[in-house]
Chains A and B, each alone.
Chain A
């Protein structure tokens, strides 16, 4: 198979998988929230609520696109594209099995950190170009939050990279198989918790949803968006949830591997195992979202700079010392 055919097939598979995973997680979110808050819609309406995400997507697709008069039109129109391009790009390094991966990059983890930082530009330009004070405040809060939480996210992964001696995602999973335990048990438990907290903040989900904060800022940086562009912001939130949980499963929970199953069949059960672990992590984040209230802005910054960053630096030091000693 030539390089370009292979590339085309991989791109098509990713473009088909991303919305399906987003729909699955939307379903999990609405059903989880309905179950926790006794909402009848997602539990009983239409095939016991299972067509709810499809109905949501159809609703937004047929809505009118409204563009306010004073917006900076090209910047406003293209802002959602930055966000979705960044999250879909991350599918490149998610390993469903040692061979079922778009590309096993030597710099896999570094790629994750570089590409995920692009979505900040989308959020900032969306907030700024809307010509709306609520949007601007949302954009400013988002920028402060994304800059602050990118550091613990990067630093918590450094511990894993030191322990695995590689940045390739397949390499990290293979190291965990060789070791016999996933990294969350074998020394990186604190890093896992820091990673999950920082990832929740990066995704701007409750309890870190100040940039959106309905009760304070209407809808924050995407207040002025409607129709298909709103849908792109909405769906990229769930694609991001999938990607972040899949990366966390790969780095800390052993990825596509489960003990006792024969490794030669990994191409069959690998994708299911990884998606299962991902949905489990996503369910925990969903349960947190529907149980906790929002932080205050200063508490958010304090948590990042005074707790998470020092803790992850200590984790790096401890991992490095253990690496030299053993």
Chain B
């Protein structure tokens, strides 16, 4: 076994441990920080697979934006520190186990169906190529996704904003 294999197995172990901690801890902030570890380990695994762009997107979007917004939300709504008893319930454990096992099964099945035991050796992704493909072959899905995101953005603003007929125009 080469050093890089040992390193990958170590990362996978870390990924598994932090993933388990995300769902078992009863402190929201601790869960968010373990989620950062989970995402960061995934990013490192992507770098080992020479998919640098995906790794950096993972860091920029998930760690830099999603987790930050999550922490921001927690800080606004839940100021007291410490564990939260509501997060520790026994009600739906069976349902959760069934759902997570079936997701695991589906992913394993798809991966085995697609790759089986073939080893894919890649020279690494060229970002230039990725950009060209995104704006030529996949330009329609790309524009469609942007449109859906724009719709979500406008929808979010409309839902969050109160009817401002009662508000003074200069108060906004």
Would you call B46 an interface residue if the criterion is a C-beta within 8 Å of the partner chain's C-beta atoms? no
- Docked-complex contact B75 and A120, CB < 8 angstroms: no
Query: How does the 8 Å CB contact mask read for A120-143 relative to B, with 1 for contact and 0 for none?
Result: 110011011101000010011001
- A contact residues, total (Cβ < 8 Å): 32
Expressed in whole angstroms, the Cα–Cα distance for A117 and B71 within the complex equals 14
- Docked-complex contact A140 and B75, CB < 8 angstroms: yes
Which of B51-59, B103-111, B114-122, B149-157 is the contact stretch?
B51-59
- Docked-complex contact B67 and A143, CB < 8 angstroms: no
Q: Which A residues are in CB contact (< 8 Å) with B52? A: 105-107
Q: Which B residues are in CB contact (< 8 Å) with A125? A: 29, 33, 71
Q: Which B residues are in CB contact (< 8 Å) with A322? A: none
Number of A-B contacts (CB under 8 A): 81
- Docked-complex contact A114 and B59, CB < 8 angstroms: yes
Q: Which A residues are in CB contact (< 8 Å) with B33? A: 75, 121, 125
Query: How does the 8 Å CB contact mask read for B12-30 relative to A, with 1 for contact and 0 for none?
Result: 0000000000000001011
- Docked-complex contact B72 and A75, CB < 8 angstroms: no
- Docked-complex contact B75 and A127, CB < 8 angstroms: yes
- Docked-complex contact B68 and A124, CB < 8 angstroms: yes
Expressed in whole angstroms, the Cα–Cα distance for A107 and B75 within the complex equals 33
- Docked-complex contact B71 and A143, CB < 8 angstroms: yes
- Docked-complex contact A117 and B75, CB < 8 angstroms: no
- Docked-complex contact A124 and B72, CB < 8 angstroms: yes
Q: Which residue of A lies closest to B82 (CB)?
A: A72
- Docked-complex contact A124 and B71, CB < 8 angstroms: yes
Q: In chain A between 95 and 129, which residues have their CB closer than 8 angstroms to a CB of chain B?
A: 105-107, 110-111, 113-115, 117-118, 120-121, 124-125, 127-129
Least Cβ distance of B139 to chain A in Å? 16
Most chain A CB within 10 A, of B36, B56, B67, B76, is at: B56
- Docked-complex contact A128 and B71, CB < 8 angstroms: yes
Q: Which A residues are in CB contact (< 8 Å) with B68? A: 117, 120-121, 124, 143, 146-147
Given the known A-B contacts A124-B75, A140-B72, are A117 and B81 also in contact in the complex, defined by CB atoms under 8 Å?
A: no
Given the known A-B contacts A124-B75, A125-B33, are A117 and B63 also in contact in the complex, defined by CB atoms under 8 Å?
A: yes
Expressed in whole angstroms, the Cα–Cα distance for A150 and B65 within the complex equals 10
Query: How does the 8 Å CB contact mask read for B45-86 relative to A, with 1 for contact and 0 for none?
Result: 000000011001101100111011101101110010110000
Q: Which residue numbers of B lie inside 8 Å of A, CB to CB?
A: 27, 29-30, 33, 36, 52-53, 56-57, 59-60, 63-65, 67-69, 71-72, 74-76, 79, 81-82, 126-127
Q: Which residue numbers of A lie inside 8 Å of B, CB to CB?
A: 70-72, 74-75, 105-107, 110-111, 113-115, 117-118, 120-121, 124-125, 127-129, 131, 136, 139-140, 143-144, 146-147, 150, 167
